[in-house]
Amino acid sequence: MRTQVLCLLLTVLATGCASVQPATAPARTVEVESERKVERNYVLGTPSQAFVGEAIVRVKDFWERTTTSSGLAATEAATLRLPPFSTLQINKGDFARLVGTTERDGQTYRLVQLPGPAAQLLRFLLNDDGSFEGTAINHLGQRMGFEYQPTPPTLRFIAGTTSQTDRSKGWTNFELIYSGTTRDALNLLYREYTPDDMARPAFSQQLTYDRASPEIRFRSVRITVHEANNQSIRYTVEADGLDEG
């Protein structure tokens, strides 16, 4: 019933008809096997130096999923207002189906159908760079009288490959920051991050080690301490437990 009402509204609010040339091929997606990525700010077995406030260990271990499409993928997350009643949420990597092309003022535009029930009866005009031209036609080919611009306006729908973190396979993203020494202790700050490198304040911890110990450990990370004071630390990361095989 809601779809029927929306269809009627889109027909009533249309301002004219546009000639539509159908696309030569339907959109399709191909999922590529996820690939593991490991990023470090150190080299195992190689001496390093860090000053107070700098990370002596930074590790990001995650899986990256790459998707290719003959359709068009969103370059970033955005919202698109659909007058008179709806707003469409667009996620980075969402695919738009290329349904054809249309002529307007002597220029050819691609027509795309966006995901989501609220947008199923609309075909949006895209510029050559994948940005929104600002207008749309309905499923009958009639021009709509509204303007359609996303927020942020930098959103593009482009062909090719998109990559996203595969959260279903888990991840590790943390750093150990050197905090200096006291008479008897060597201090570190543990900070954890999301796969998108956003800080997780609830997963932050002060770590204290015996200053006289030549070696410190955190989880699977084993570090040899050569020299440490209130200005800097010289150290070597001997092992981190990351099996990249």
pLDDT, tens digit, 9 for 90 and up, residues 24-83: 444 455 566 788 999 999 999 999 999 999 999 999 999 988 876 667 889 999 999 998
| pLDDT value of position 240 | 95
pLDDT, tens digit, 9 for 90 and up, residues 167-217: 888 899 999 999 999 999 999 999 999 988 899 988 999 999 999 999 999
% of the chain with per-residue pLDDT over 70: 84
pTM, whole model, 2 decimals? 0.57
| pLDDT value of position 226 | 98
Q: With 80 as the cut, is the pLDDT of residue 220 above it?
A: yes
% of the chain with per-residue pLDDT over 90: 61
Q: 3-class SS at 213? A: coil
Q: How many CB atoms lie within 10 A of CB 137?
A: 26
Residues 143/103, Cβ–Cβ less than 8 Å: no
| pLDDT value of position 163 | 78
More confident position, 19 or 98: 98
C-alpha closest to that of 148 among 207, 213, 88: 88
- Sequence-distant (≥ 6) Cβ neighbours of residue 49 within 8 angstroms: 232, 233, 234, 235
| pLDDT value of position 17 | 57
Residues 185/210, Cβ–Cβ less than 8 Å: yes
Phi, psi of 119 (to 5 degrees): -110, 5
More confident position, 210 or 4: 210
Sheet of 232-239: strands edge to edge? 47-51, 232-239, 221-228, 215-218
Of how many residues is the chain composed?
245
Q: 3-class SS at 183? A: coil
Q: With 80 as the cut, is the pLDDT of residue 222 above it?
A: yes
Q: With 50 as the cut, is the pLDDT of residue 105 above it?
A: yes
100 dihedral zone (left: phi>0; alpha: psi -120 to 50; beta): left
